[in-house]
Amino acid sequence: MCHVISQQSLWLAKQAAYFLNDTQKNITKEKTSAALKRMQQQLGALFSNEFKDHPEYADCIEHLLVYHGNVVEKLVEKANQFGCEAIVIGPHHNGFVKRLFSGGTGKKIINQTSKAVFMVSGKQ
């Protein structure tokens, strides 16, 4: 399972830290740590709620990985690198339908790969 922190997100966080006189912070490290923690929490909730009757699924996630860069390019690159058969993406800040039909991440990934792409929605 991987998450990509966009360059824009990092830039905005660094700008906010600068204006708040908090430039000593390692923004990249903090955002990476926060993303890993959020992934662990979400997976914990998923397995304790949705898959509580299927403990055998607990081992299906081998790694939690966080990358930085262009989200679409990085996801396609990593899917190819790891030999994935499909890419599954979930919701982020914008609504699922809005992203699908407005040129969002999902649509861009579909246009850049021949792999199956699954878009899942979740409780927000």
Whats the size of the chain, residue-wise?
A: 124
* In a domain? residue 17: yes
Q: Are residues 41 and 101 in the same domain?
A: no
pTM exceeding the 0.85 threshold for the entire prediction: no
Report d(CA 79, CA 82) in Å as an integer.
Answer: 5
Q: Are residues 65 and 93 in the same domain?
A: no
Report d(CA 18, CA 74) in Å as an integer.
Answer: 27
Of the candidates 38, 104, 41, which has an alpha carbon nearest to the alpha carbon of residue 75? 104
Report d(CA 113, CA 110) in Å as an integer.
Answer: 6
Residue 18, domain extent: 1-69
pLDDT digits (tens, 9 = 90+) for 35-78: 999 888 888 888 888 788 887 877 778 889 999 999 999 999 99
Q: Are residues 62 and 7 in the same domain?
A: yes
The beta strand positions in 1-124, using DSSP E, are 2-5, 65-68, 86-89, 116-119
Q: Are residues 63 and 102 in the same domain?
A: no
